[in-house]
């Protein structure tokens, strides 16, 4: 269900306490890129790159959690100067199979706290990745870090799913969101901590099951807007997708553009 679901948790432990560079390890990094399909499908990627290129203009862009450059590489090919911050060296190694440091420089670090040189017209954080920060404080710090990297009037764009708590009946803690031959996707909720663990159970031909899990702190759009205000932003526009479809009560995801207020 979420974008960032390819992490493995082979130890059978919860992912909550795993260092992120172990979660996003080299095996995950090598399997991440699926050129032309999935999240790399041009019909998904092109509108995102179009919108981000428009917002960055000549001012450059910084991607938080740049990963293997799924978005950054095509954005750079449009002529936008792109830099990144990324926690996982394995994901950066995969990026380096495509572009070098002079083309897309990347700082290794936590997007809530790490500094990249320079100031930008745009900071963006896509594919649900703010939910990888597991506390409200870290998520607020992420907004503040975006603000520190922006020129006056710069934009911070976030792509995030809308929490699906309406699918969770009272007293129940788990929801099966996909079930098909060979695969079951199951989410378990801790509504007090505002966390969801996605479990991906894959069955092979020998009837063996493999479990992959990822933990997320889900955030409501209104909570995100308040975090933005704490960091000096105002919501400029929220749409349901990168093409600008209206955001409605039934939208499952959103692209929110925040503008740094004049100080
Ligand atoms: C779903 S991938 C998204 C990668 C890329 N943005 C994309 O759209 O394909 C999530 C990425 O976030 C990175 N990540 C997770 N938590 C992070 C943090 N606190 N700081 C920096 N990177 C982080 C992971 O290492 C991983 O590369």
CATH code, domain carrying 75: 3.40.50.150
| 141 and 255 fall within a common domain | yes
| 117 and 32 fall within a common domain | yes
Cβ–ligand 1 contact at 70 (below 6 Å):
yes
pLDDT at 20: 53
For residue 21, is pLDDT > 50?
A: no
Place of tokens 């870290």: 138
Mean pLDDT calculated for residue range 72-79: 98
Cβ–ligand 1 contact at 91 (below 6 Å):
yes
For residue 150, is pLDDT > 50?
A: yes
Q: How many domains does the chain have?
A: 2
pLDDT at 23: 77
Cβ–ligand 1 contact at 88 (below 6 Å):
yes
For residue 131, is pLDDT > 90?
A: yes
For residue 9, is pLDDT > 60?
A: no
| 205 and 81 fall within a common domain | no
| 199 and 237 fall within a common domain | no
Nearest alpha carbon to residue 153 among 60, 231, 261, 263: 261
Among protein residues, the one with the nearest Cα to ligand 1's atom 3 is 67
29 Cα nearest atom in ligand 1: 27
Sign of CA dihedral 99, 103, 109, 111: negative
Task: Return the higher-pLDDT residue of 10 and 171.
Answer: 171
pLDDT at 232: 98
Task: Return the higher-pLDDT residue of 156 and 262.
Answer: 156
pLDDT at 103: 98
State the pTM of this model: 0.92
User: Is 26:90 a contact under the CB 8 Å cutoff?
Assistant: yes
| 80 and 177 fall within a common domain | no
| Strand 209-217 to 195-203 pairing | antiparallel
| 149 and 171 fall within a common domain | no
| 154 and 80 fall within a common domain | yes
Within 8 A by CB and 6+ apart from 27, the residues are 8
Domain that holds residue 192: 165-215
Mean pLDDT calculated for residue range 84-94: 98
For 140, other C-beta atoms within 10 Å of its C-beta total 18
142 Cα nearest atom in ligand 1: 19
Q: How far is the CA of 66 from the centre of ligand 1 (A)?
A: 6
For residue 212, is pLDDT > 70?
A: yes
| 33 and 153 fall within a common domain | yes
Coil, helix or strand at residue 197: strand
pLDDT at 10: 34
* Percent of the chain whose predicted confidence (pLDDT) is above 90: 85
Indicate whether 207 belongs to any domain: yes
| 54 and 120 fall within a common domain | yes
User: Is 232:260 a contact under the CB 8 Å cutoff?
Assistant: yes
pLDDT at 206: 87
| 117 and 210 fall within a common domain | no
| 200 and 76 fall within a common domain | no
């Amino acid at each position: 269900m979420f974008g960032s679901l390819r992490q493995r948790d082979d130890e059978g432990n919860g992912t909550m306490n795993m260092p992120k560079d172990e979660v996003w390890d080299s095996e995950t990094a090598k399997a991440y890129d699926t050129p032309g399909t999935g999240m790399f499908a041009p019909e998904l990627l092109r509108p995102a790159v179009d919108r981000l290129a428009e917002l960055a203009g000549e001012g450059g862009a910084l991607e938080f959690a740049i990963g293997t450059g799924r978005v950054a590489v095509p954005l750079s090919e449009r002529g936008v100067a792109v830099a990144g911050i990324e926690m996982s060296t394995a994901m950066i190694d995969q990026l380096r199979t495509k572009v070098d440091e002079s083309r897309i420089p990347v700082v290794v670090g936590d997007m809530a706290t790490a500094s990249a040189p320079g100031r930008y017209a745009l900071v963006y954080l896509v594919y649900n990745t703010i939910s990888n920060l597991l506390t409200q404080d870290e998520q607020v710090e992420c907004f503040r870090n975006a603000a520190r990297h922006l020129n006056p009037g710069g934009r911070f764009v976030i792509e995030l799913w809308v929490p699906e708590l309406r699918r969770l009946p009272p007293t129940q803690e788990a929801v099966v969101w996909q079930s098909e031959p060979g695969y079951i996707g199951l989410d378990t909720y801790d509504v007090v901590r505002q966390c969801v663990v996605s479990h991906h159970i894959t069955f092979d031909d020998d009837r063996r099951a493999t479990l992959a899990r990822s933990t997320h702190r889900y955030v409501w759009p209104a909570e995100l807007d308040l975090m933005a205000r704490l960091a000096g932003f105002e919501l400029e526009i929220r749409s349901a997708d990168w093409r600008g479809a209206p955001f409605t009560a039934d939208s499952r995801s959103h692209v929110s553009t925040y503008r740094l207020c004049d100080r």
